[in-house]
Structure formats: C-alpha cells, structure tokens
Chain A
Amino acid sequence: GQNIDQPTEMTATEGAIVQINCTYQTSGFNGLFWYQQHAGEAPTFLSYNVLDGLEEKGRFSSFLSRSKGYSYLLLKELQMKDSASYLCATGNTPLVFGKGTRLSVIA
C-alpha cells in the first residue's frame, strides 16, 4: 500500500521562505511529484524528483531523500499568489496524492 503524509495548513509572510514537508511509504518507488492547486482550479505540475537531492526551479525547489521516505518543497520570496494547496504525490503510476497542504501567504 501507499501512505503519504503532509501538514494540513501553513501560514507564511510575503517575501519569506516556507518549507512544506512530505513523508511517504510506498511498496515501490518511481519518483515524487509536487503539484500546486489554487482553489477551484486544476492541479498544476511543479516538480518531479526521482534521485536524492535538491532540484531548483526558480523560486521553487524540491528535495528528496529516498532512504528516509521524505521530500520537501521550498518556496522562496513568497508572493500572495503562492497561496494555494500543495500536493505531494508518489510517482507510481497512477499518481497517489497526499491530502495537500493549504498555504496562506499573508502581508
């Protein structure tokens, strides 16, 4: 079976840095996805990690440790538009999602 755990809600200040953690247990591993979902909209792809380490993509970075079953999404220079839910998903097709972390960015 597969189990994904991430915090339900987080709040951070505009311009700050926030780290959203995700732990997972899976019978097989084929990478780890992060998606962003604004309220009432479709989830959109942010990042995919299959090897250990940090993948940087502009203001967003994603980290993976396969031995620890752990990933995080790092958001820098937060903007108000970053307020959304962030979904962690195992890469075993089809994707299995965590409950998502609702991030609120405040002024």
Chain B
Amino acid sequence: ETGVTQTPRHLVMGMTNKKSLKCEQHLGHNAMYWYKQSAKKPLELMFVYNFKEQTENNSVPSRFSPECPNSSHLFLHLHTLQPEDSALYLCASSQDQNSEPNTEAFFGQGTRLTVV
C-alpha cells in the first residue's frame, strides 16, 4: 500500500465510449502525475499538476483530458480512444514538483486499459 489509490484496476472500453480514471492520494502531497506504461517502452509522462495547477502537458492527444479538483484527487477523462492507447496508466504523487532536495514519487497500482 503506497498511499496512492487508483480505480478502476482494469478497464475495457470501446473506441466510442467515454470513461474516467480516478486517482486519490492520502499522503498530503501537492504534486500529482499521470504516466502511461506500454509494453517494452519506458514510463511516459503525460500530465503534471502542482498545487492543483497543470504545469506540464507532454504533447498528449486531446482525447485524454486531465482534471485535478484538489491536491488529493486526479482524474483522467478518456473519449474516442484508439486501440494503441491500450496500456497501464499510472498515477503518482510527490511532495512538491519543485521541492529541494528532490523527493521520491509514490505510485498507484495503475489502471490496465484495453481499447477495443
């Protein structure tokens, strides 16, 4: 148990569906992240929120839409996805994006997404 909880753990959706991934952290952190992990590829950063403000969008297609209503919750809204979007989506949190010294990120268990 890392203190970061993601739901659902598994999701199968059609290309015309709309779904949302949820992440919640109980660590009092101020920075939250979405990563995508595809087979045989490194973890790819998608979005960064620091104190509820989006600070990075790593050229992610608009069919992925993040939302951060408060420092403890992060959502990833999905619509009209493609089969190549099938991957493990990981949420992480850390104390602060700009903390010195740097502190580690804590990851959720991920949502295994399959787009059919």
Smallest CB separation, A17 vs chain B (Å)? 25
Q: List, in ascending order, chain A residues with CB within 8 A of B94's CB.
A: 93
Q: List, in ascending order, chain B residues with CB within 8 A of A45's CB.
A: 104-106
Interface residues of A (CB under 8 A from B): 4, 30-31, 33, 35, 40-45, 48, 50, 87, 89, 91-100
Q: List, in ascending order, chain B residues with CB within 8 A of A43's CB.
A: 43, 90, 107
Contact with A along B58-93 (1 / 0, CB 8 A): 000000000000000000000000000000001010
Residue of A nearest to B96 (CB): A93
A41→B105 contact, CB < 8 A: no
Q: In the assembly, what is the distance between CA of A48 and CA of B110, in Å?
A: 23
18 extra A-B contacts, CB within 8 A, seeds A45-B105, A93-B97? A31-B101, A42-B4, A42-B90, A42-B107, A42-B109, A43-B43, A45-B104, A45-B106, A48-B104, A50-B101, A50-B102, A92-B102, A93-B31, A93-B99, A97-B35, A97-B42, A99-B40, A99-B42
Q: What is the predominant secondary structure among interface residues of chain A facing chain B?
A: loop
Q: List, in ascending order, chain B residues with CB within 8 A of A44's CB.
A: 2, 107
